[in-house]
Amino acid sequence: MSISVVVGTRPEIIKMMPIIEHLGAEADLIYTGQHYDDAMAGVFFDAFGMHPTSAIEIGNMSRGEQIGAGTTALSRLFSETRPQAVVVQGDTNSALAGALAANATTLPLVHVEAGLRSFDKAMPEEHNRVLIDHVSDLLLAPTAVAHDNLLNEQCTGRVEITGNTVVEAVTRMLPELDARRQLLASYGLTDSEFVLATIHRPENTDDPKNLLAIFTALQGLDVPVLLPLHPRTKARLHACGLEHLLDNLRVVEPIGYPDFLALAAHARLLISDSGGVQEEVSVLKRRAVVVRRSTERPEVLGTFTTLCEPAQLGVTATKWVRDASDRQEFIDNLPSPYGAGDAGIRSVKAIQEIIE
């Protein structure tokens, strides 16, 4: 028996890791190369000790090209291998390509992290996740909110609430305290006395006004800001003549997942436009300012996260930095809305039930 698991980006690798481990020898891991920079994806395979059995190449393409080329290549592969099911995660172009290819080859389709909705049609990911949900046979919803979204849209697949596999990934990959302290020292950082920032989404990087506002705000904070710089963001800053806005920030290359978690666990505040960070802070008991116009993760709004437009980042981040210590006890005692850390095994059990 084989079950094809399609991944193309670093968040997919992280979220699929617990499921792949529980599937064991049944998992056939397919990498699409959507994150064609090894620092953004390849190192994660090493960190988790898993490697693709098949690969296609859709990196460095436009969205339409990635979906089209990915669907074509995966359809051919599925026609040859005939897995018992195809599993995709989230809302990437790779996930949509895998979903369409499974549909085209009449294979059962499983969507991990189904039912997320931002209700923002300007987000390409919103279109991807809606399309995937409506062609899926098994929809693994991380929360009751996601479950209700699927029912409200009358998705025809079987729906199961499993929790989110991010809880297992964070719990497993977070280094021990001594290692975290050594990492902080290597960066010259003090526990709870720095901000960890990640910016990469096109709505921020492709708009010079947003880029200027975000990096001006980061420079204006009165604590050190550590910035693992995404290749897209670096290129856009250069193209817009805004490289000088990095001068007062502690800029580093993209870092591996365990090191990122270690730094996040000791940051006073995270500033990010990432989807995964919004979930991870709920496990690490940190807070994040999310620099986006909308979010598909409302479960953490007002507790672990707050939404913020780029123009307001300076004011919002300064407030959240200043009241972080006052809020920490409340955050420490707040459970993550993403489950108890058993989403991987619950997901695999549901997958096995639909193929038996």
Catalytic sites, residue numbers? 200
Instruction: Judge whether 318 and 335 are in contact, CB under 8 Å.
Output: no
Sole residue written with tokens 């200027």: 212
How far is the C-alpha of 194 from the C-alpha of 188, rounded, in Å? 10
Q: Please say whether the beta carbons of 126 and 63 come within 8 A.
A: no
**Residue 89 region by backbone torsions, left for phi larger than 0, else alpha for psi between -120 and 50, else beta:** beta
From the list 179, 232, 174, 172, the residue with the least C-alpha distance to 205 is 232
For residue 138, the cross-strand partners are 110, 158
- Residues 192 and 325 sit within 8 Å (Cβ to Cβ): yes
Say what angle helices 313-322 and 324-332 make with each other, to 10 degrees. Answer: 70
160 token code pair: 């199961």
Dihedral of CA atoms 169, 175, 176, 180 in degrees, nearest 10, equals: -140
Residues facing 269 on adjacent strands: 195
Here the tokens at position 270 are: 């995270």
Q: Is 87 helix (H, G, I), strand (E, B) or coil?
A: strand
Question: What is the C-alpha separation between 248 and 223, in angstroms, rounded?
Answer: 11
Q: How far apart are CA 41 and CA 276, in angstroms?
A: 14
Q: In the chain, which residue ranges form alpha helices assigned H by DSSP?
A: 10-23, 42-48, 63-81, 93-104, 124-135, 144-152, 166-173, 177-186, 202-205, 208-219, 231-239, 257-264, 275-284, 313-322, 324-332, 343-355
Q: Which residues pair with 6 in a beta bridge?
A: 30
SS3 138: strand
